[in-house]
Amino acid sequence: MEVVYALWLLLAVGCGSLLGFLFARHPSPGRRIKSQNFAAAEFASAFALRDTQPDLISWIFCNTPITIWSTDEKLRLGDAYAPLIEKRSGVKMETIRGLTLHELFQTDDDNHPALAAHRRALKGEAVSYETEWAGRTFAARVHPWPFDGTPPRGCRGVAIDVTEIRLKDEKLHHLGTELERAHADLQRFAYAVSHDFKEPVRMISSFLRLLETKFQDKLDEEAQEYIRHSIGGAKRLHTLVDSLLNFCSTANAGVTKEACDLNALVGQIVSDVAMSVQARQASLNVKELPTVQADPTLLSQVFRNLISNALKFSGDKKPALVIETKPHREGNLVLVRDNGIGIPSEYLAKIFVPFVRLHSRDEYEGDGIGLSLCARIMERHGGKIWAESEPARGSTFFLLFPKPPTPA
């Protein structure tokens, strides 16, 4: 809509000058308008353009889907000019001269957008509206005439054919609705599947354990080995199902934003992971952090995932973490930096996709859900997360929180 009106404004300058050609009954208004309304100023500059660039004005009309018209105070059409629209609609402008707007739009409805707008224009208002005519859609604006502030004796209108734009809008809207529905279905499906998988997986695990303990004497070493592998697989499946369930419920949880002091929020997580920090002889440097508008429960998950990843993917080094903030023009930027194994550049975007892992479970424990959850949570806060990294030297995760809207 904004694009249409921006285009409309641009074209209004050109249209106004043509109005000048067509409706030359009144003297050039540019000189006598007291600039008490925007429409008058708009048309004044258009008339100035008419005098300096007449070729440009006719070029605009022959190549853009603009129409201009005049009406008297009884809303009877005077002149209308629309070369390109004539070509598209097949309706010659001279055939509609003298029709009332009721006749033109073949309606008795006084609330028809064009009729309502013209009536308001006759009361001295410039009005924008959208209407259908000759099978096409127009974004239009009608002004009271004359432009000198004396009581209106008619209207001057200008419109642009937006049929194709509206068709694309509709298609886009339709696609958006379809996409939303498909997304909701998929979420429901993932939730149902992960929920319903839990029970059979638990059953498989417990029967395998029974088999292992009850028939220990009867099974040879090879059979016991197979059972151990199966129990391991069932356990992993159970963890995956749990993670998927966690992803579905957290990713779709309601977001209740409040002022979150990140110093307190991160401080709490740091004290929760104190044992594993000590065990890994890690250093954690948390600098002064901002307060952001966020859901504290969801945001804690983000920092918990990032901190535990930084501790986990440290390779042979003692983990060294820095959490700090840097200025950013779009909002509050928080950085979580580590000195770990790093991430090859071709995977920097993929690590935010659910279940994508760059290492086997034997190397590093995990299920590949943490970062996708972080991305989803940041997205739901209107923010962003991304990573930069240098393999073998460390990674930095960036969290961008949008600026709160300024009160009107």
* Interface with ligand ADP (CB under 6 A): 305, 309-310, 313, 338, 340-343, 351, 356-359, 366-372, 395
Cα(112)–Cα(374) distance, integer angstroms: 50
Task: Look at strands 283-286 and 320-328 and give their pairing.
Answer: parallel
Comparing CA positions, the residue from 18, 98, 24 lying closest to residue 64 is 18
For ligand ADP, the closer CB: 161 or 367: 367
Query: Are residues 93 and 106 in contact, defined by beta-carbon separation less than 8 angstroms?
Result: no
H helices of 53-162, in order, are 54-63, 83-89, 101-104, 113-122
Residue 45 C-beta: closest distance to ligand ADP, Å: 58
For ligand ADP, the closer CB: 131 or 239: 239
Residue 310 C-beta: closest distance to ligand ADP, Å: 5
For ligand ADP, the closer CB: 48 or 335: 335
Q: Which residues contact 64 (CB under 8 A, 6 or more apart)?
A: 11, 84, 160
Residue 37 C-beta: closest distance to ligand ADP, Å: 59
Cα(210)–Cα(347) distance, integer angstroms: 42
Residue 302 C-beta: closest distance to ligand ADP, Å: 11
For ligand ADP, the closer CB: 159 or 298: 298
Residue 278 C-beta: closest distance to ligand ADP, Å: 19
Q: Which residues contact 174 (CB under 8 A, 6 or more apart)?
A: none
- Give residue number: closest CB to ligand ADP: 366
Burial of 258 (0-12, 13-18, 19+ CB in 10 A): exposed
Query: Are residues 80 and 69 in contact, defined by beta-carbon separation less than 8 angstroms?
Result: yes
For ligand ADP, the closer CB: 222 or 365: 365
Residue 339 C-beta: closest distance to ligand ADP, Å: 10
For ligand ADP, the closer CB: 295 or 338: 338
